[in-house]
A and B are shown apart, each in its own frame.
Chain A
Amino acid sequence: MMKTSLKSATRTGMIFGLVFIFLTLIGFIVVGANMFGGLFVKSAENQNSVRVDAVNLLVFISLFGLLSGVVFQKRQPDAKWMHVVLGGLFTGLVIGLIAGGAVFLIGILHVKGIDLRNYLPNLGPDTIKFALFHSTPLSAAQTYLIFFIIFSLAGALLIKVISLGDGLKSVFDQVKARAAEQVDSQQLRDLMKNKFFLVGVGLLVAVLLYFLPLMWGSYWNYIMGTVAIYILLGLGLNIIVGYSGQLVLGYVAFFATGAYTFALLTAPYPHAIGLNPWLAALLSVVVSVLTGLLIGLPILNLRGDYLAIVTLGFGEIVRILVRSDLMTPFTNGPNGITNVGQPSWLGDVFSDVNYMHFLMLIVLLGLFVAKRLKDSRTGRAWIAIREDQTVAQATGVNTFQYKILALLIGAAFAGLSGALFASRNQFIGPEDFTLMVSINVLCIVIVGGMGSLPGVVAGAFVLKGLPELLRELSDYRLLAFGALLVVMMIVRPNGLLPDRTTWFSRPVPGKDQKNYDEVNQ
Chain B
Amino acid sequence: MIHDLKTRKLSPELIVRIVVGVILSIYLGWRIYLSIFGDQAYGPDTWLRFLITGLVIGGIYALIAIGYTLVYGILFMINFAHGEVMMLGAFVGFFVLEAFAALPTPTEGNPELTFLNAYPVIALILVFIAGAAISALMGYALEKIAYRPLRNAPRLIPLISAIGASIFLQNAAQLLFGPQRRQYLNPDLLARGSGWMIQVGEKSVMLTYTGVFSFVLSILLMVGLFFLVKKTRLGKSMRAVAENKHAAALMGIDVNAVISKTFIISGLLAGSAGVMWGIHNGLFNHYVGFLPGIKAFTAAVLGGIGNIPGAMMGGMLLGLFESLGPALLGIDFQLKDVIAFTVLILVLVFRPSGLLGEALSEEKV
A-side interface residues toward B, CB under 8 Å?
Answer: 22, 25-28, 119-122, 241, 245, 247, 298-299, 302-306, 308-310, 312-314, 316-317, 320-321, 324-326, 389-390, 439, 442-443, 446, 450, 475-476, 478-479, 481-486, 488-490, 493
Check B164–A299 contact: CB distance below 8 A.
Answer: no
Residues of B155-197 at the interface with A, using a CB-CB cut-off of 8 Å, are 155-161, 163-172, 175-178, 180
Chain B at the A interface: mostly helix, strand, loop or mixed? helix
Nearest chain B CB to A113 CB, angstrom units: 16
In the complex with contacts A489-B161, A493-B157, A314-B345 CB distance below 8 A: yes
The answer to the question of B150 belonging to the interface, with a C-beta cut-off of 8 Å to chain A, is yes
Report which of A302, A439, A481, A483 forms a contact with B348, defined as CB distance below 8 A.
A302
The closest CB in chain B to the CB of A323 belongs to B334
CB–CB A482/B349 < 8 A:
no
Contacting residues, chain A, for B345 (C-beta < 8 A) = 298-299, 310, 313-314
Tell whether, in the assembled complex, residue A486 and residue B164 are in contact, meaning their CB atoms are under 8 Å apart: yes
A309-B78 contact, Cβ under 8 Å, with A326-B331, A485-B163: yes
| Complex Cα–Cα for A432 and B327 (A) | 30
Q: Given A26-B175, A302-B348, A325-B334, are A486 and B146 also a contact pair (CB < 8 Å)?
A: yes
Given the complex, which residues of B lie within 8 Å of A485, measured CB to CB?
160-161, 163-165, 167-168
Bound-state CA distance A120–B160 (Å) is 30
Given contacts A313-B345, A316-B337, contact A483 B175 (CB under 8 A): no
B365 at interface by CB-CB < 8 Å: yes
Closest to B98 in A: A119
**B294: CB under 8 A from chain A?**
yes
Contact call B171/A490, Cβ cutoff below 8 A: no
A-B contact pairs, 28 of them (CB 8 A): A22-B172, A119-B98, A119-B177, A122-B175, A247-B156, A299-B349, A303-B352, A305-B78, A310-B344, A310-B348, A316-B337, A321-B338, A326-B335, A439-B167, A446-B160, A475-B175, A482-B167, A482-B170, A483-B168, A484-B164, A485-B164, A485-B165, A485-B167, A486-B161, A486-B164, A486-B168, A489-B157, A489-B160
Q: Given A119-B98, A313-B344: A27 and B163 within 8 A (CB)?
A: no
With both chains docked as a complex, state the minimum distance between the C-beta of A205 and any C-beta of chain B, in angstroms.
32
Name the B residues within 8 Å of A25 (CB-CB): 176
The 9 lowest CB-CB distance pairs between A and B, nearest first, are A485-B164, A482-B168, A482-B167, A313-B341, A26-B175, A121-B178, A486-B164, A489-B161, A479-B171
Select from chain B the residue with minimum beta-carbon distance to A301.
B352
* Dominant secondary structure of chain A at its interface with chain B: helix
- Chain B residue numbers with a CB within 8 Å of A493 are 150, 153, 157
Complex-state Cα separation, A313 to B335, whole angstroms = 13
- Is there contact, CB below 8 Å, between A308 and B164? no
Taking a contact as CB atoms under 8 Å apart, the answer to whether A390 and B365 are in contact is: yes
Query: Of all chain B residues, which has the CB nearest A28?
Result: B175
**Inter-subunit contact A305/B166 (CB<8 Å):** no
- Which of B76, B78, B171 sits near A478, CB closer than 8 Å? B171
Q: Which of B165, B294, B334, B348 contacts A306 (CB 8 A)?
A: B348
Residue of B nearest to A435 (CB): B290
Taking CB atoms, residues of chain B closer than 8 Å to A310 are 344-345, 348
Assess whether A489 is in contact with B158, with CB atoms less than 8 Å apart: yes
B297 CB–A CB distance under 8 Å: yes
CB distance from A314 to the nearest CB of B (A): 7
Q: Are A305 and B365 in contact (CB under 8 A)?
A: no
Write out the residue numbers on chain A whose beta carbons fall within 8 Å of the beta carbon of B17.
298
CA distance A475 to B178 in the complex (A): 12
CB of A120 within 8 A of CB of B159, answer: no
Q: In the complex, are the beta carbons of B167 and A481 less than 8 A apart? A: yes
- Cβ of B244 < 8 Å from any Cβ of A? no
Q: CA separation between A493 and B146, bound complex, in Å?
A: 13
Chain A proximity of B82: nearest CB distance (Å): 13
Set of chain B residues within 8 Å of A482, measured between Cβ atoms? 164-171
Measured between alpha carbons, how far is A389 from B365 in the docked complex, in Å?
Answer: 9
Say whether A324 contacts B334, CB under 8 Å.
Answer: yes
Q: Is B352 in contact with A302, judged by CB distance below 8 angstroms? A: yes
Q: Which of B155, B331, B341 meets A304, CB within 8 Å?
A: B155
Interface presence of B95 (CB below 8 A): yes
Q: Is the CB of B177 within 8 A of A316?
A: no
From residue A349, how far is it (CB to closest CB) to chain B in Å?
Answer: 38
The answer to whether A27 touches B160 (Cβ under 8 A) is no
Which residues from B are CB-within-8-Å of A305? Answer: 76-78, 155, 159
A489 to B80, CA, bound (A): 15
Whether A476 and B352, one on each chain, are in contact in the complex, defined by CB atoms closer than 8 angstroms, is: no
| Cα A481 to Cα B168 with chains together (Å) | 7
Please report the C-alpha to C-alpha distance between residue A389 and residue B154 in the assembled complex, in whole angstroms: 14
Residues from chain B with Cβ under 8 Å of A119 in the complex: 95, 98, 177
Say whether B149 faces chain A, with CB atoms less than 8 Å apart. yes
Bound Cα distance from A481 to B166, whole angstroms: 11
Query: Within the assembled complex, what's the spacing in Å between the Cα atoms of A28 and B175?
Result: 9
Residues of chain A within 8 A (CB-CB) of B161 are 485-486, 489-490
Q: Which residue of B lies closest to A494 (CB)?
A: B157
Please name the residue on chain A nearest to B342 by beta carbon.
Answer: A317
* B145 at the A interface (CB under 8 A): yes
Question: Nearest residue in B to A446 (C-beta to C-beta)?
Answer: B160
What's the Cα separation between A241 and B159 when bound, in Å?
13
For the complex with contacts A317-B342, A478-B170, 19 further pairs of A-B residues with Cβ separation under 8 Å are A26-B175, A119-B98, A120-B176, A247-B156, A298-B17, A303-B365, A309-B301, A439-B167, A443-B160, A478-B167, A479-B171, A479-B175, A482-B165, A485-B160, A486-B161, A486-B164, A486-B168, A488-B164, A490-B146
* Cβ-defined contact, A320 with B157, below 8 A: no
If A306-B301, A476-B175 touch, does A320 touch B159 (CB 8 Å cutoff)?
no
A479 and B172 in contact, given A308-B78, A390-B365 (Cβ under 8 angstroms): yes
Residues of B within 8 A of A443 (CB): 160
B363 within 8 A of A: no
